Amino acid sequence: MPEGSFMNKREVVEMSQKKSTLLRAGVALATIVAVLVLISLPRYSSDQSEADDIASPELNEAADGLNDVLPQRIAQSTYFDSVGVRKNSMSYYYSLENLSEDEFLQKELKDSLMSEAEKRVPCTTWRPVYMQGVDVSFIYYSNDGKEILHFTRSQSTCCAPSES
């Protein structure tokens, strides 16, 4: 067949369509490979920090044991509601039944609440190995659901020698 014949033009068109199909398939394959590579890469640091923030099984077990018997009334208008844990942190949540945020500020109850909380969580709290290096936070909420007091005790401040 002569060079400019209909059959040669048809073959050229078919070859170009085959190349186009192969090119599309190659691009699709490259996209799939790129997605698979991205999925297999380590997560962002925020995901890693969430994983690093998980409490030890022993600390979780201690919190679960307390939460099993909570909430409890521990004073006339104070409830010990729950315990939460994260790595190196245990939080005790309290609510004050008949005290709004404004009343708390007016009555200046911060020192007495801190003193009572420290009595309930003595320095012996840090004796078990799983409590070593764990900070204990006390978080109080008013009857209107607002956080009114948040303070933390650490093993180092609790066990520091007292000044004479």
What is each CA distance from 105 to 5, 12, 32, 92, 115, in whole angstroms?
97, 87, 60, 21, 17
Give residue 61's pLDDT band: very low, low, confident or very high (50, 70, 90): very high
Q: What is the mean pLDDT of residues 66-91?
A: 92
Residue 8 has pLDDT above 70, yes or no: no
Q: How many CB atoms lie within 10 A of CB 46?
A: 8
Query: Domain spanning 52-158 has what CATH number?
Result: 3.30.300.250
Q: Assign 64 a pLDDT band (cuts: 50, 70, 90).
A: very high
Question: What pLDDT is attached to residue 139?
Answer: 95
* pLDDT-based confidence at residue 164 (cuts at 50, 70, 90): very low
pLDDT of 163:
47
Residue spans per domain, the chain: 6-41, 52-158
Judge whether 116 and 80 are in contact, CB under 8 Å. no
Average pLDDT, the chain: 78
Q: How far apart are CA 4 and CA 84, in angstroms?
A: 82
State residue 68 phi and psi, 5-degree precision.
-65, -25
Residues forming beta bridges with residue 70, ordered by sequence position: none
The string over 65-104, giving b where at least 16 C-beta atoms fall within 10 Å of a residue's C-beta and e elsewhere, is: ebeeeeeeeeeeebbbbbbebbeebbbbbbbbeebebeeb
More confident residue, 128 or 70: 70
Is the model's pLDDT at 111 over the cut of 60?
yes
pTM of model > 0.85 = no
